[in-house]
């Protein structure tokens, strides 16, 4: 079955709205951003905005999803198993993503930090679950799902701890944590 093509104009307009949102969020706190702010920056009308997104929260969700997925998946494109290298790359990509977001969205970061946290943990869970499934472990699927949840929350928690409480470079932080992670991941 042939995949239907999306009109390039739709893709360009969506990208224009996303880019405009990213510019506006650098200048205003998220709670103060209006659809008019976004459409004025994008030089499109409200109807065009609503043809692509339900509201500013839907746009925010799209921005976070696309950026998180792109950032993490680019770094993991050659990994098909969960090991020290893939865990390190995941940790570093999440810390880099959060640093970039904090820098780009200084005024709004705290406003949507809970949404960012939930999004990152959900994406990490999906990635970890996929990597665990590829390892063909003799463990029931529910246990793999639980393991993926634990890993996603643990890595996210480590990223937050690193940001708030550590003076170590991210690479050294994860290297020090690795023996504990690998020991916990030993399947019996």
The answer to whether 131 touches 80, Cβ cutoff 8 Å, is yes
pTM of this prediction? 0.75
Query: 13-53, pLDDT tens digit by residue?
Result: 999 999 999 899 888 888 899 999 999 999 999 999 999 99
List the alpha helices (DSSP H) in the chain.
8-27, 35-42, 46-52, 56-76, 84-104, 113-134, 141-165, 170-184
Give the per-residue pLDDT at 59.
93
Cα 60 from chain centre: 12
Give the per-residue pLDDT at 188.
44
Cα 118 from chain centre: 9
Query: Which residue reads 């008019």 in tokens?
Result: 36
For the record, the structure tokens of 166 come out as 């550590």
Query: Which residue reads 């996303």 in tokens?
Result: 18
User: In this predicted structure, which of 99-103, 126-130, 135-139, 170-174 has the lowest mean pLDDT?
Assistant: 135-139
Higher-scoring residue by pLDDT: 61, 78:
61
For the record, the structure tokens of 165 come out as 């409480």
Query: Which residue reads 């990597």 in tokens?
Result: 131
Q: What's the angle, vertex CA 86, arms to CA 126 and CA 125, rounded to 5?
A: 15
Distances 49 to 13, 58, 112 between C-alpha atoms, Å:
9, 11, 21
Could you tell me what percent of the chain has a pLDDT over 90? Answer: 39
Cα 80 from chain centre: 19
């Amino acid at each position: 079955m042939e995949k239907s093509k999306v009109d390039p104009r739709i893709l360009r307009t969506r990208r224009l709205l996303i880019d405009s949102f990213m510019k506006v969020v650098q200048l205003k706190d998220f709670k103060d951003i209006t659809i008019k702010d976004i459409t004025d920056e994008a030089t499109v009308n409200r109807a065009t905005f609503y043809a692509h997104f339900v509201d500013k929260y839907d746009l925010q969700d799209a921005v976070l999803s696309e950026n998180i997925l792109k950032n993490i998946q680019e770094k993991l494109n050659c990994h098909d198993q969960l090991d020290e290298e893939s865990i390190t790359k995941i940790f570093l990509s999440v810390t880099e993503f959060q640093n970039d977001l904090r820098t780009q969205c200084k005024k709004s970061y705290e406003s949507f930090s809970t949404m960012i946290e939930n999004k990152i943990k959900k994406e990490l869970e999906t990635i970890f679950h996929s990597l665990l499934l590829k390892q063909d472990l003799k463990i029931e699927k529910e246990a793999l799902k639980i393991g993926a949840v634990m890993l996603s929350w643990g890595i996210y928690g480590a990223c937050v701890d690193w940001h708030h409480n550590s003076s170590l470079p991210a690479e050294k932080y994860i290297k020090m944590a690795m023996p504990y992670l690998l020991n916990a991941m030993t399947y019996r």
